[in-house]
Amino acid sequence: MAASFGAAQVLVASNRGPVSYEVREDGSLDAKRGGGGLVSGLSAIGPDAGALWVCSALGDGDREAVRRGVGEDGVRMLDVPADVHADAYNGIANSVLWFVHHMLYQTPLEPVFDAEFRLQWASYEKYNRAFAEALAEEAAEGAVAIVQDYHLTLVPGMLRELRPDLRIGHFSHTPWAPVDYFRLLPDDIAEQVLRGMLGADRLGFLTRRWADAFTACCDALVGGVGDTRIGVHGLGADADFLRERSHRADVDERMAALREEIGTAPEGGARRTIVRVDRTELSKNIVRGLLAYRELLAGRPEWRERVVHVAFAYPSRQDLAVYRDYTAEVQRVAESINEEFGTAGWTPVVLHVKDDFARSLAAYRLADVALVNPVRDGMNLVAKEVPVVSDEGCVLVLSREAGAYEELGEDSVVVNPYDVSGTAEALHEALSVGAGERAERSKRLAAAGTALPPGQWFLEQLRALRD
């Protein structure tokens, strides 16, 4: 048996990997490296740790790279058939599990768990099986494997059967649904998800609230968590990276362009800015944020021409119709506010929908108020990043339903994300905070938001598993 073990001592499994490929016009492959917490975490353990990242081929370029045997050291990309991946990723992970954990269903009409759902679920099982088999093949005896997120909830249980010698972890980057909502899932599927995750030695969550919700689901549906340990690791922002990156030349250029779009107040001087940076993800609550801003302008006319809402809403999951419709509604509401209140020298909402990281950092630096009002969010790193980068300090208007609320709530203006009038009042309160207090709050928010930077966050989980 020992001869069949692989060589990797530390393994990470996630749907998206650290590299993606595109086929150039001449047929050669162009590799693009990604960033994020896992990349930082794996680099933190050093090049001699025997680490391997198992991920999925996501596009034609990735699949071509697998076919040609092109790859990066320390990465194994799985060429799961495109139709299986589509059903597992869009059909189940993003249209069922994401909706359950973020409580997004319009329950009079959805969900509908029918024969088509069962076919998609079979693809989700196949997709998870492919990861479990790859991890089993690559792992050295007694190695540590940390599986990521709702795409791969069945992997720990499958891997445990294949390789009982491994130490297996799973980390959830989303919220976890309360018991009554989780039970929207068919009983056998709900149980399969829980038992799949309980195949791990240790499960990690972003906040105590999500960990407790998972435990409650296990208590109600499968008789408890058994021998599996539960941990909480509140992923923080990477302060060193953000501070360095936000002062490069391309960010300065974007700041100049944004200042021009924002313009000056009638009495001279800079206009105040309310900044939001989000993907057009249904849970981010961008439309209600815009409606709250409209109510601020309607009910507090003193802010007209003196404030601009800088809203970056970067398209997400546009292959799903409900996301395309939501993106269109964001644009429609922003345009209607500009039509209703705008003047020759003032555009109330500056909306950008094309993803541009340098421009996002420029907006962070200019922010007087950061609006983070999700209906539900595992953590929300924007809430942690803006206070780190903001030049003059910012006031954070924060939803109590964001995971970040646990760490940042005390120094934020907290809102119920469904209460548009309450959010309008919170924006007025935040805009009225003086410069000194704003800077002080920002300092405290930045300290709390960077307490567990990505490298440390990963190493903490690794240590806990090894212990």
**pLDDT tens digits for 187-206?**
999 999 999 999 999 999 99
Mean pLDDT of the chain: 94
Is the per-residue pLDDT at 303 higher than 50? yes
Would you say the pTM of this structure is higher than 0.85?
A: yes
Rounded to an integer, the average pLDDT of 314-321 is: 79
Rounded to an integer, the average pLDDT of 422-432 is: 98
Q: How far is CA 185 from the centre of its chain?
A: 23
pLDDT class of 37 with cuts at 50, 70, 90: low
pLDDT class of 230 with cuts at 50, 70, 90: very high
pLDDT class of 150 with cuts at 50, 70, 90: very high
The pLDDT assigned to 36 comes to 67
3-state secondary structure the chain: CHHHCCCEEEEEECCCCCEEEEECCCCCEEEEECCCHHHHHHHHCCCCCCEEEEEECCCHHHHHHHHHCCCCCCEEEECCCHHHHHHHHHHHHHHHHHHHHCCCCCCCCCCCCCHHHHHHHHHHHHHHHHHHHHHHHHEEEEEEEEEECHHHCCHHHHHHHHCCCCEEEEEECCCCCCHHHHCCCCHHHHHHHHHHHCCCCEEEECCHHHHHHHHHHHHHHCCCCCCCEEEECCCCCCHHHHHHHCCCHHHHHHHHHHHHHHCECCCCCECEEEEEEEECCHHHCHHHHHHHHHHHHHHCHHHCCCEEEEEEEECCCCCCHHHHHHHHHHHHHHHHHHHHHCECCECCEEEECCCCHHHHHHHHHHCCEEEECCCCECCCCHHHHHHHHCCCCCEEEEECCECCHHHHHHHCEEECCCCHHHHHHHHHHHHCCCHHHHHHHHHHHHHHHCCCCHHHHHHHHHHHHHC
| 8 A C-beta contact, residue 348 and residue 333 | no
- Residue spans per domain, the chain: 2-235+455-466, 239-449
The pLDDT assigned to 348 comes to 98
The pLDDT assigned to 35 comes to 67
Rounded to an integer, the average pLDDT of 96-108 is: 97
**pLDDT tens digits for 272-289?**
999 999 998 899 999 999
- Name the least confident of 157-171, 263-277, 421-435: 263-277
**pLDDT tens digits for 368-390?**
999 999 999 999 999 999 999 99
The pLDDT assigned to 222 comes to 98
Q: How many Cβ atoms from other residues are within 10 Å of residue 35's Cβ? A: 13
Distance CA 290, CA 333 (A): 7
178-187, 263-272, 322-331: range with highest mean pLDDT: 178-187
Is the per-residue pLDDT at 72 higher than 90? no
Contacts of 357 (CB under 8 A, 6+ apart): none
Rounded to an integer, the average pLDDT of 354-361 is: 92
| 8 A C-beta contact, residue 9 and residue 46 | no
The pLDDT assigned to 2 comes to 42
The pLDDT assigned to 142 comes to 96
CATH for 239-449?
Answer: 3.40.50.2000
**pLDDT tens digits for 450-463?**
999 998 999 999 99
**pLDDT tens digits for 135-144?**
999 999 999 9
- Name the least confident of 71-75, 159-163, 207-211, 392-396: 71-75
The pLDDT assigned to 155 comes to 98
Domain 2-235+455-466 belongs in CATH node 3.40.50.2000: yes
Which residue, 187, 185, 148, is CA-closest to 168?
Answer: 148
Length of the chain: 467
Residue 318 in tokens:
């546009």
- Name the least confident of 16-25, 157-166, 231-240, 311-320: 311-320
Lookup result for tokens 């050291």: 73
| 8 A C-beta contact, residue 15 and residue 93 | yes
